[in-house]
Structure 1
Amino acid sequence: MTAPHPLVATAQALADELLAPHAQQVDQEGVPASHIEAIRRSGLLGVSAPKEYGGAGAPDAVAREIMEILAGACCSTWFVQTQHHTPVKMLAKSELPVRERLLRPLATGELLAGIAFAHVRAFPRVPVRATAEGEGWRFDGRVPWYTGWGLNDVMLLAGVTDADEVVFAFTEAREQPGLRPSPPMRLAALTAARTVSLDLDGLRLPEESVVLRAPQDKFALVDRPRNTNASPAVFGVAYAALGLLEQAGETGPARVLRGRLDEVRRQVYALAEHPVPHERVEERLALKTRSYELMRAATSAAVVAQGGRAMDLGSPAQRLAREGLFLLVQGQTAEVRRAHLDALADF
């Protein structure tokens, strides 16, 4: 057996010593800056970043394992930091000037990035319009969800032009002319992740802030696999719930569910390594919905094992069940929703 990647060991230590012991408090009070500072120092923010820019350049399998560990320990903290990795990957592939300005500080954890582009998946509806103006771009509209407000340093924002081109650009994650955040949202789960909406009214960003411009249809082809594959966070939360079930002495149900979860996880990750990420979509969606079923079974079993105590807001079983509900719709697209509803109808 080979030793785990050093960053996997780092993530496990962070989960065991900081995240899991404080997960109930974070759920009620919010992700503290100290948690984010610990993640910055850990090197985890650079797991997928190129080594020449201060990152680890680790394989995707390592990044997936780290996601599982963090999500199972404290889903709110995981959700804040997971926003960071897409901007890093996008910068690593970019040949535009913003790469040299931002990739190293993001890879080393000097800066933490958030994302404001999930709304692009609503096309042909365009919640945020990008318009070429002078030597830069103007953004108008409303970003429905932005996580990590007050914790992130920069955000990756996207809008769609009249010519159906998607424009991605970086800006500071703060209130500024043309950008106004809503009050923090009160959510059934992950309120702790500091999610707001953003009103954009003539936010102007220079051309040198742009990291990518792509026709909407080409971007959708690349983006589609991100949502048809099951998130490692689903497995992290499910395994955490099975841990509670075992602690309650219910080793029989836990063993059966763990075996099923292990097998689905193996299949999901094998497909994630498929060389053509936009192929075998139906199989990916079927495995994703099966992952949801097993997560729901695991978190429900943890609640049942705890009985009435699980209704207390201090119960980890009830927190994991709510986090599971959140993961059912996190990053949801119309295609994923249809597949999930069809699977539920056949249950």
Structure 2
Amino acid sequence: MTIAPHPHPLVVRARRLADDLLAPHAERVDQEGVPVGHIDAVRRSGLLGLGAPREYGGAAAPAPVGREVAEILAGACCSTWFVQTQHHTPVATLTRSEGPVRQRLLGPLARGELMSGVAYAHLRAHPRTPVRATRERGGWRFDGTVPWYTGWGLNDVMLLAGVTDDDEALFAFTEAREQPGLVASEPMRLAALTAARTVSLELDGLWLPEESVALRQPYETWAAADRLKTVAASPAVFGVAEAALALLDATTAAPLRSRLGDVRDRAYALADHPDPEEHRAERLALRTRAHELMCAATTAAVVAGGGRSLTLAATPQRLAREALFLLVQGQTTQSRTAHLEALLG
């Protein structure tokens, strides 16, 4: 990663957080779970307000700063990065919202007084509707199953999505705790990022008032914007890859680092393109190529580490498992198909 001569203050804070806390404890966190202390440190750092409007206490940082911060955090401790990255979608949703929930929550979220998770990936299963939102008593009733919710026990609130009878995507805020109509499973044991405290949620008549709604729009309108986001290469992929390359000797790392830098530069240039509809195929190809290089880097780290890489206290195997996770994180039918086609040649 190229370091700017005068990095943004939030990049400096992210680097300090990564070097002083996240990276030194990453293996322990991987086995024991993201501790509240890590989340408190993220709150104090100001990173939760990264993209939030200044008038609400945020930093309104430009996209390149957000990407660099994500690379730093993911490369240091992917589990902590994944918990905190959920927070930025609710902030962005509230920034665009015109409902009363904006005034109630945007400031506390931007200042890190509250932390939010998200429960909306199930919308990508459409036309299946794992969660249905129906009108009831002047508000909305939610029924169904949220397959994945990350940060349980660490988040204060969640942004919950369902599909209405009019085929709209509806997003509303509620407290991230068990309550009438909402029950959480035991934390899932996963091959990677078990530490991020992911559960499933059973919704059976969870009722939320109209003033909790942050977004309501035709499903296809929401899905079109979502598809544009999910064709891009994730900064976390570059962060994990760089962390793996740092474990190799200079001769081994150099060619992989050069290829990774080329993909990163092109992917980020397209991410900043004024027309997100352009270059869709190339963006997908770059996403796939970034994944390939990440897997090559983490595999090289495992090989270089030899048998020691297989111990649970070893950094290479943690990074290799995190790479497996990032292969499917934010995956859609479109990105999955493109990746499989690339693998098949």
Instruction: Tell me whether the two structures share a fold, i.e. TM-score over 0.5.
Output: yes
* Equivalent pair of 1:47/1:56 in contact (CA under 8 Å): yes
Instruction: Supply the AA of the counterpart residue of 2:223.
Output: A
* Aligned equivalent of 1:199: 202
* Aligned equivalent of 1:299: 298
* Aligned equivalent of 1:138: 141
CA distance in 2, matches of 1:8, 1:131: 43
CA distance in 1, matches of 2:168, 2:262: 40
Map residues 43-62 of structure 1 onto 2, 5 A cutoff. 43-62=46-65
* Equivalent pair of 1:222/1:278 in contact (CA under 8 Å): no
* Aligned equivalent of 1:280: 279
* Aligned equivalent of 1:259: 258
Uncovered stretches (5+) of structure 1, i.e. residues with no partner: none
CA distance in 1, matches of 2:105, 2:228: 26
1:6, CA displacement in angstroms? 0.2
Uncovered stretches (5+) of structure 2, i.e. residues with no partner: none
1:107 to 2:110 alignment: yes
CA distance in 2, matches of 1:320, 1:55: 31
CA distance in 1, matches of 2:18, 2:31: 18
CA distance in 2, matches of 1:312, 1:22: 16
* Aligned equivalent of 2:89: 86
CA distance in 1, matches of 2:261, 2:178: 44
CA distance in 2, matches of 1:231, 1:62: 14
* Equivalent pair of 1:242/1:299 in contact (CA under 8 Å): yes
* Aligned equivalent of 1:324: 323
CA distance in 2, matches of 1:330, 1:199: 22
CA distance in 2, matches of 1:280, 1:159: 31
1:178, CA displacement in angstroms? 0.3
CA distance in 2, matches of 1:158, 1:341: 29
| 2:71 match: secondary structure | helix
Residue range with higher mean Cα deviation, 148-157 or 274-283:
274-283
CA distance in 1, matches of 2:330, 2:226: 11
CA distance in 1, matches of 2:317, 2:186: 26
Q: TM-score, normalised by structure 2?
A: 0.98
Q: TM-score, normalised by structure 1?
A: 0.98
Partner residue of 1:66 out of 69, 72, 75? 69
| 1:306 match: secondary structure | helix
1:36 to 2:39 alignment: yes
| 1:314 match: secondary structure | coil
CA distance in 2, matches of 1:45, 1:73: 17
| 2:154 match: secondary structure | coil
* Aligned equivalent of 1:179: 182
| 1:239 match: secondary structure | helix
| 1:275 match: secondary structure | coil
1:222, CA displacement in angstroms? 1.1
* Equivalent pair of 1:98/1:210 in contact (CA under 8 Å): yes
Instruction: Supply the AA of the counterpart residue of 2:309.
Output: A
* Equivalent pair of 1:139/1:204 in contact (CA under 8 Å): yes
1:242, CA displacement in angstroms? 0.1
| 1:49 match: secondary structure | coil
1:251, CA displacement in angstroms? 1.7
* Aligned equivalent of 1:15: 18
Instruction: Supply the AA of the counterpart residue of 1:210.
Output: V
CA RMSD of aligned residues (A): 0.7
1:278, CA displacement in angstroms? 3.1
Q: How many residues align?
A: 342
Instruction: Supply the AA of the counterpart residue of 1:122.
Output: A
1:280, CA displacement in angstroms? 1.9
* Aligned equivalent of 2:289: 290
* Equivalent pair of 1:221/1:278 in contact (CA under 8 Å): no
| 2:230 match: secondary structure | helix
Instruction: Supply the AA of the counterpart residue of 1:268.
Output: A
CA distance in 2, matches of 1:329, 1:220: 18
1:119 to 2:126 alignment: no
1:224, CA displacement in angstroms? 1.1
* Aligned equivalent of 1:311: 310
1:134, CA displacement in angstroms? 2.0
CA distance in 1, matches of 2:15, 2:276: 29
| 2:273 match: secondary structure | coil
* Equivalent pair of 1:188/1:322 in contact (CA under 8 Å): yes
% same residue? 70
1:133, CA displacement in angstroms? 1.1
Instruction: Supply the AA of the counterpart residue of 2:176.
Output: A
CA distance in 2, matches of 1:68, 1:84: 16
Instruction: Supply the AA of the counterpart residue of 2:68.
Output: E
1:253, CA displacement in angstroms? 1.9
* Aligned equivalent of 1:24: 27
